[in-house]
Structure formats: structure tokens, C-alpha cells
Amino acid sequence: MSDSIENLLERRAILGPAYRLFYDEPLFPVQGEDVWLTDHTGRRYLDAYNNVPVVGHCNGAVVQAMSEQAQTLCTHTRYVHDAVLDYGERLLAHFPKYLNRVMFTCTGSEANDLALRMAFAVTGGQGVIVTANAYHGVTHLLAQLSPSLGAIGDFVRVVQPPLTQSEDAAQAFAQEIRAAIQSLQDAHIKPSALLIDTVFASDGIFAPDEGLLGLGIDTAREAGLLIIADEVQAGFGRLGSDWWGFVSAGFKPDIVTMGKPMGNGYPLAGVVAKGDLVQTFADTGRYFNTFGGNPVAMKVGMAVLNELEQRNLPEQVDTLGETMQEALLGLKELGVVEVRGKGLYWGVQLAATDTQTAAERAKFVVNDMRQHGVLLSQCGPNMDTLKIRPPLTFTASHIEIFIQTLSAALQKQCLVNIK
């Protein structure tokens, strides 16, 4: 029996069936380095999927910071330590001045949960508006706010995201929010928050132009809702030198949540908010997280910021994003419906053929590229969109490898009768 098959059988026996695996032939990685993963046979794969190692797999500076602090002290925020203050100050420097308080968690789910607790405390309401196929986390509360996982809570209303850059889309988004607010009020549920993934990742990936969301956000704010920007996917330079999706989209959130890339793989996440909101929340009760804000996490976060800043990675993403967009648009004749995204976060929506649905085509491409040494995934409400989000240490040469492999996979499909 091969090592990989034995591992799968053991995994099923120990973990049970709720866990899911990628690819028809699951990947068995044993080592990571920068933008590459190596499997148990020694084969290397170009990683165009994992946005968590934002400064590269096993980044030396991050590993060193983690190791040194782990050998010195790892405790919690009920004791005083410099690391949480130093990192908090550095992190807040990347936000508008009005967002002047930070609270730490371990995961993006925890961050979104904390943000909603804050919103509920400040507004006195519990109604939340999210987009139609959003994903915001795995806790009991967040699962009810994640239509992509299944049924939503009765205190939740969904709106269609504006997936085109137009005035009509902006108006439609505002109207949907207006209707969602009215629906909550009709059900005697006080609206509390509009929660937005700023790159609409699970909705099919879309980076809104500046101002596109403004009318909808103004509509929500006028009705007393707080605006929460979920930057777990888009944040830390993923979209370029703006650093945050809300900056790129040109709106001012009341609360911002972060996770995934914040610790480059180490569990680190957080919430940034207006000081008066944090004060109101504190007046209603205390906040404590055993591991959130521990010294090791803070040193890791500082190392990630150092790498992003000193290597000018967000600024490089601006240029790489243009290169990626141009290359992806060059594949239009291979059954590509639309290319959406910005920086190093892209969605490539595929067309159906007479013999395959668009989702089947996307699945084929993902598996074919995996067989040829490049990793990506698929997303969207119809699972017809290729999801591309590599570490920010990607280069033009990596993009060339990626595009060549993607082009070859698309050319293998029957493109005679593209719908």
C-alpha cells in the first residue's frame, strides 16, 4: 500500500468524514519554501492558491522571530508585555487615524465574532446583512452568516454583490440593502451591521472600484448599521499598495477584521475599530482571549509586517497584478467568460460547453494543473470560477509558469461549442 493511500485511510479513521480534501488525487505535502510546496515523493508544486503564507512558506525571518520568542516567553494579555503594544502600534499605523484601537484573536472567525459582539453592543440590534454567497467563518454565529456553507440565521439577510463596475450596479446594491433593512424591521429585528468581504471572495471574486459600494454603505449607515470590513481575504497588501480592500474601494468602515495572512501561518487575527465603539463594548463587559495577543503571535506579526514593508511587497503587487490581468485576459478565446480581481487575487470565470458545465470545466482545470505542478482552486456560487491567490512573493517568472500551465489545461477541453 502506498504512503498516500495509507495516510488517507488513517485520516478517515481518526478525523472522520466531515473534513474535506482538495483534488481528485489529494496532495500530500511535506515541505514548503517561499512559493513552492514539495510532496512526499519529492515533487515540487507552484503554489498559486495559499494566501495564508503571505510572505512565503516557512519565511526565515518569521520562523526566527517565532522561535526566539517561544524560547523566551509565551503568556497572555492579562500580564503586561511590550510585544503586544509594539505590534499594535505598528499595525495601527497602516490604518486611517480614526481606526485607533486593536484587539487580538487567533482566527478570522474569532475576529468576525468579536466584531459582531461589538456591533450588537453598540447598536442594541442583532440583524446582520451579508452578500449572497459570503463566507465569514466557522463558529456557530459566523456559520449562520455564511450562505456559502448552507442555511443562514433568521436574523440574517442577504444581498447580491455588485459584480460589475457600473452606476446601475451601485444603485442595485443600495436598493438590495434598503430592502434587506426593511425585511429585518418587518420581522421586528433591529438591524445592527453590514458585513462585507472586501474582495467578495466566495461570491466569485471582485475588487470594487473606488465609490462603487458608497451608495449602499451610506444607505446602511443612515439606518444605523455599523459597517464591518472583513479583510481576512483581501488585507495585508493582497490587492496592492492600498493594503486594504476598503481603502481600494474607497469607503470608511467602523470596524475591520483581519486573519489568515496576518501571521503567515501562525494563528493570529484581530479587530481594528473606532475608539468610541471599543469603549462602548468595554462598558458592557470584558474581553479576554487566552492565546490572542500572546508574545509569540505578536513577534510573528511584527516579522510579517517587516517583510511586507522592507521588501515593498504590496507595491510590487501593483505591478504583478497588471501583469497577471493582462496574461489572464489573453486566455479569453479559451472559454473564459470574465476575469475579475486585483493585485494577486483573481477569479477566472469559465464558460460551459455542450459537454461540460462551467463548474465541471473549472474542476478539470484545477485537477489538471495539480497534475502538472501548479496549485489553485475554484469558487463562486456556481463553482465556475478559478481562484488565484498566491503568496505575495510571487514574481513575473512564476506568473509565466502559471499562465503556461493554465493555458495548456484550458486547451485540453472541448472548446468548439462554448456557450
According to the model, what pLDDT value does residue 18 have? 84
CA atoms within 13 A on the CB side of 341: 34
Sign of the dihedral through C-alpha 189, 193, 194, 197: negative
Residue 226 lies in a domain: yes
Residue 234 lies in a domain: yes
Residue 10 lies in a domain: yes
The CATH number of the domain holding residue 152 is 3.40.640.10
Which of 292, 310, 328 finishes a domain? 310
pLDDT tens digit string along 186-222?
999 999 999 999 999 999 999 999 999 999 999 999 9
Same domain flag for 300 and 213: yes
Distances in whole angstroms, Cα of residue 237 to Cα of each of 33, 207, 246, 309? 20, 13, 12, 10
5: pLDDT strictly greater than 70: no
Task: Name the nearest CA neighbour of 307 among 201, 258, 221, 236.
Answer: 236
According to the model, what pLDDT value does residue 10 have? 77
Same domain flag for 197 and 79: yes
Which of 287, 310, 333 finishes a domain? 310
Rounded-to-10 torsion of CA 208, 173, 251, 189: -140
Q: pLDDT category, 14, cuts 50, 70, 90?
A: confident
Same domain flag for 9 and 128: no
According to the model, what pLDDT value does residue 9 have? 67
Using an 8 Å Cβ cutoff, are 303 and 65 in contact? yes
**Share of residues in the chain with pLDDT > 90 (%):** 90
Same domain flag for 263 and 387: no
According to the model, what pLDDT value does residue 413 have? 81
| Region 241-252 average pLDDT | 98
Same domain flag for 69 and 166: yes
According to the model, what pLDDT value does residue 3 have? 64
CA angle 270, 274, 280 (to 5 degrees): 95
Same domain flag for 306 and 329: no
The CATH number of the domain holding residue 399 is 3.90.1150.10
Which of 275, 295, 310 finishes a domain? 310
Which residues have C-beta within 8 Å of that of residue 369, sequence separation ≥ 6? Answer: 375, 376, 405, 406, 409
11: pLDDT strictly greater than 80: no
Same domain flag for 287 and 354: no
Residue 91 lies in a domain: yes
Residue 211 lies in a domain: yes
Same domain flag for 389 and 302: no
DSSP element (H, E) containing 317: helix 313-329
Question: What does pLDDT average to over the chain?
Answer: 95
Domain enclosing residue 390, as ranges: 3-55+313-411
Number of structural domains (the chain) is: 2
| Region 335-360 average pLDDT | 96
Query: Cα-flanking dihedrals φ and ψ of residue 180, to 5°?
Result: -65, -40
According to the model, what pLDDT value does residue 151 have? 93
Coil, strand or helix at 163? coil
6: pLDDT strictly greater than 90: no
Report the DSSP beta bridge partners of residue 270.
104, 258
Residue 249 lies in a domain: yes
Which residues have C-beta within 8 Å of that of residue 146, sequence separation ≥ 6? Answer: 130, 134, 135, 136, 137, 152, 202
Q: pLDDT category, 290, cuts 50, 70, 90?
A: very high
| Region 230-258 average pLDDT | 98
Same domain flag for 322 and 279: no
| Separation between Cα atoms, residue 282 and residue 257, nearest integer Å | 18
Residue 176 lies in a domain: yes
Same domain flag for 325 and 398: yes
Residue 417 lies in a domain: no
Same domain flag for 368 and 397: yes
Q: pLDDT category, 1, cuts 50, 70, 90?
A: very low
Stronger pLDDT, 164 or 251, i.e. the higher one: 251
Same domain flag for 339 and 383: yes
CA atoms within 13 A on the CB side of 359: 6
Which residues have C-beta within 8 Å of that of residue 80, sequence separation ≥ 6? Answer: none
| Region 227-248 average pLDDT | 98
